[in-house]
């Protein structure tokens, strides 16, 4: 007897995008296409360029068309957080969202998450194999990139966590917001100016936009312990001067590509309930980014 012919409708494809300005060079569509193929999920992931003054209407229109979620990048992470009705605890700490899930009102409404920090932590502790627990960690910058990662860094229980920024008041404001979280995890957390970071950190994370502007690494070599890990959240050509600087100091340099792939995997998990295997995707992206013809500078956040 012949097998019955399936009469079920074609599998429905769910729509997602990366929303930002600019988004033309985002590698998120590539990453999510690889995740979808690997996990057998029927999704379509595109770029959603949002005019600076109309993030909300652009997103609302996207949802009207049936979209299920989006990643959010510069400069809309704070606005995205404000637009959601529900927020994960890590998004609340960051006051910024890089992931939205467009749940219906009956389900509680839009959910905002921030997967940047968990992505960074996973890249450092799993991909780079460097534990953060018991280590001295220095985080540079107090903008959206640093806000997204400070809470998850605290959860790793470093021996000490220092947040330094050019505008020191912004560093203090970010630290003040995380002080209770740090106390809960027994982590000494302090804010300071770039000139006052001290020395000999095991891990230095650059969350400033200095690399994007072609600027120098904003702290001196004394900040690094010999053999330290020095990670810039940028990747591609923008990260090169930082990586060269790290190598010249005897540190291990690392760019933000691993963080980019890991934060994407966490977003995928939130949307689809399955976490892709990031290792093969990161290897592929690495080969593409290191290929001779380079895309424009990009940041992992």
Size of site (CB under 6 A) for ligand ATR: 16
Site for ligand ATR in 53-92 (CB under 6 A): 74
**What is the C-alpha separation between 277 and 274, in angstroms, rounded?**
10
The least CB distance from residue 138 to ligand ATR, in Å, is 13
Contacts of 96 (CB under 8 A, 6+ apart): 77, 78, 80, 81, 114, 144, 147, 148
The residue with its CB nearest to ligand ATR is 143
Under rule CB under 6 A, residue 167 binds ligand ATR: yes
The least CB distance from residue 203 to ligand ATR, in Å, is 18
Q: Reduce the DSSP state of residue 62 to 3 states and report it.
A: helix
Q: Are 297 and 232 in contact (CB under 8 A)?
A: no
Among 242, 207, 234, 211, residue whose Cα is nearest residue 299: 234
Under rule CB under 6 A, residue 145 binds ligand ATR: yes
Under rule CB under 6 A, residue 210 binds ligand ATR: yes
Under rule CB under 6 A, residue 215 binds ligand ATR: yes
The answer to whether 77 is a known catalytic residue is yes
Contacts of 274 (CB under 8 A, 6+ apart): 39, 41, 268
Under rule CB under 6 A, residue 19 binds ligand ATR: no
Among 144, 152, 236, 253, binds ligand ATR (CB under 6 A): 144
**What is the C-alpha separation between 256 and 299, in angstroms, rounded?**
7
Under rule CB under 6 A, residue 195 binds ligand ATR: no
Site for ligand ATR in 170-189 (CB under 6 A): 170
The least CB distance from residue 2 to ligand ATR, in Å, is 59
The least CB distance from residue 75 to ligand ATR, in Å, is 7
Where are the alpha helices (H) located in 96-190, listed in sequence order?
116-122, 144-155, 168-184
Among 49, 63, 173, 209, binds ligand ATR (CB under 6 A): 209
Among 51, 213, 226, 292, binds ligand ATR (CB under 6 A): 213
Angle at 210 between CA 204 and CA 215, to 5 degrees: 115
Among 20, 69, 158, 218, binds ligand ATR (CB under 6 A): 218
Under rule CB under 6 A, residue 192 binds ligand ATR: no
Distances (CA, A) of 168 to 143, 252, 273: 12, 27, 40
**What is the C-alpha separation between 6 and 9, in angstroms, rounded?**
9
Q: How many Cβ atoms sit within 10 Å of the Cβ of residue 131?
A: 14
Under rule CB under 6 A, residue 295 binds ligand ATR: no
**What is the C-alpha separation between 134 and 53, in angstroms, rounded?**
44
Under rule CB under 6 A, residue 256 binds ligand ATR: no
Q: Which residues are catalytic?
A: 77
What residues make contact with ligand ATR under the rule CB under 6 A?
Answer: 74, 141-145, 165-167, 170, 208-210, 213, 215, 218
């Amino acid at each position: 007897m012949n097998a019955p012919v399936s009469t079920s409708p074609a599998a429905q494809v769910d729509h997602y995008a990366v929303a930002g300005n600019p988004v033309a060079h985002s590698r998120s569509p590539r990453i999510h296409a690889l995740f979808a193929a690997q996990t057998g999920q029927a999704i379509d992931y595109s770029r959603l360029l949002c005019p600076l003054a109309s993030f909300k209407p652009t997103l609302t229109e996207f949802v009207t068309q049936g979209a299920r979620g989006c990643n959010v990048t510069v400069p809309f992470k704070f606005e995205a957080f404000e637009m959601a009705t529900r927020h994960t605890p890590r998004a609340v700490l960051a006051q910024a969202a890089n992931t939205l899930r467009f749940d219906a009102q009956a389900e509680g409404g839009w959910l905002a998450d921030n997967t940047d920090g968990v992505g960074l932590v996973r890249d450092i502790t799993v991909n780079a194999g460097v534990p953060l627990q018991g280590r001295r960690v220095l985080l540079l910058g107090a903008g959206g990139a640093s806000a997204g990662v400070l809470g998850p860094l605290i959860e790793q229980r470093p021996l000490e966590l220092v947040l330094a920024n050019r505008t020191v008041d912004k560093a203090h404001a970010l630290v003040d917001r995380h002080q209770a979280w740090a106390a809960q995890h027994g982590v000494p957390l302090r804010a300071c100016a770039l000139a006052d970071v001290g020395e000999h950190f095991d891990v230095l994370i650059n969350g400033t936009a200095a690399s994007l502007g072609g600027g120098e690494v904003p702290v001196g070599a004394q900040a690094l312990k010999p053999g330290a890990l020095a990670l810039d959240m940028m990747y591609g050509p923008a990260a090169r001067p930082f990586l060269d600087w790290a190598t010249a100091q005897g540190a291990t340099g690392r760019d933000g590509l691993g963080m980019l792939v890991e934060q994407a995997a966490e977003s995928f998990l939130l949307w689809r309930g399955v976490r892709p295997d990031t290792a093969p995707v990161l290897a592929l992206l690495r080969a593409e980014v290191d290929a001779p013809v380079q895309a424009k500078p990009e940041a992992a956040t």
